[in-house]
């Protein structure tokens, strides 16, 4: 599709963050895509905590970043745990949201969603802070992954989509998910 300018993957590119896995993954992506490929880091990209973000950073760069295309702003965060993210990243996010207030659309991408629509884990306090921040700055849409299914709707006043069915068997019994 000639109208697609780029793609963003919301994390868990590989199963445990090893270089060889990234090489195989990138070879497959480069064969299939003709547009730029951007990523958010996922918990599996860290080797579930055993390897850390070093290999990811070497290949893809920073674990959180932002960019603008036309009147649209895109913010990609490092959220690899149900506990949320640290104070430095949270302040960076607020600064980015403040800088982009003039954008017509603002999209945020994270790996772990701020809540689980299946009820598996309750939202942590810093996730509520994130959702308050996204509402305050009128973020257009939040895209997440991590949960192996598809969910889309409004949560605490914010539109979201969870699309995490790429790397494992889909979970749940609802065919819509």
Per residue in 101-158, pLDDT (tens digit) is 999 999 999 998 888 887 766 666 667 888 889 999 999 999 999 888 888 898 878 8
The 3 state secondary structure assigned to 79-137 is: CCCCCCCCHHHHHHHHHHHHHCCCCCEEEEECCCCCCCCCCCCCCCHHHHHHHHHHHHC
Separation of alpha carbons 165 and 141, rounded Å: 19
**Is a pLDDT exceeding 90 seen at residue 48?**
no
Residues 162/145, Cβ–Cβ less than 8 Å:
yes
Average pLDDT over residues 78-99: 89
Cα–Cα distance measured from residue 176 to residue 171, given in angstroms and rounded to the nearest whole number: 11
């Amino acid at each position: 599709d000639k109208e697609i300018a780029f793609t963003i993957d919301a994390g868990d590119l590989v199963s445990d963050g090893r270089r060889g896995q990234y090489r195989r993954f990138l070879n497959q992506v480069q064969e299939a895509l003709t547009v730029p490929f951007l990523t958010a880091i996922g918990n599996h990209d860290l080797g579930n905590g055993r390897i850390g973000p070093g290999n990811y950073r070497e290949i893809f760069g920073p674990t959180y970043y932002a960019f603008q295309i036309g009147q649209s702003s895109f913010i990609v965060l490092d959220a690899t745990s149900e506990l949320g993210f640290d104070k430095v990243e949270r302040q960076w996010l607020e600064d980015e949201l403040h800088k982009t207030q003039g954008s017509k659309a603002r999209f945020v991408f994270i790996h772990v969603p701020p809540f689980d629509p299946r009820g598996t884990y309750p939202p942590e306090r810093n996730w509520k802070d994130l959702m308050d921040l996204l509402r305050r700055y009128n973020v257009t849409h939040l895209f997440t992954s991590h949960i192996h299914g598809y969910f889309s709707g409004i949560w605490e006043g914010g539109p979201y989509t969870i699309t995490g069915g790429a790397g494992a068997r889909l979970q749940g019994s609802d065919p819509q998910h």
